[in-house]
A = this chain, B = another copy of it.
């Protein structure tokens, strides 16, 4: 009962560093995304839609961690540019299912191309291999989403795509 000595030492704190790095990337990204008519939140939304597959607005709001009333405006932006599509769910016509359009996918690709320059700068201290490592860790950490519990529990009709 002598409380496992070595095993239990707390892991280092990622929170602040995450904040730090993400701030750096985000501020720079604003600059390169602006010409495309996008802002960081749009990029995030498009990315989530591609990586997690289409989803209900509620579920999407939960995944993104933003208020659903704010999501509406966000989606309005994206829909106005034809980057996403809202369909009424056949099973429950109250719901909107949000989908990435072809235009949206292309725009996303273009945005990521622009972002590459930003990341080259912000992640300059990492080797390419390390960047990949970082990517997969982030991917893995964000994959388990509130949505998984939420949607998976009652609406598994469209299994999310995950990873690309």
A1-23 Cβ-contact flags toward B at 8 Å (1 or 0):
00000000011111111111111
A118 to B141, CA, bound (A): 13
The answer to whether B16 and A18 have CB atoms under 8 Å apart is no
Count copies of this chain in the complex. Answer: 2
Bitwise, A113-136 to B at CB < 8 A (1) or not (0) is 101101100111110101111111
Which of the candidate stretches A42-50, A53-61, A68-76, A88-96 sits at the interface with the other chain? A42-50
Across-interface contacts of A140 in B (CB, < 8 A) = 125-126, 130
Chain A residues near B (Cβ < 8 Å): 10-27, 29, 40, 43-44, 47-48, 64-65, 112-113, 115-116, 118-119, 122-126, 128, 130-144
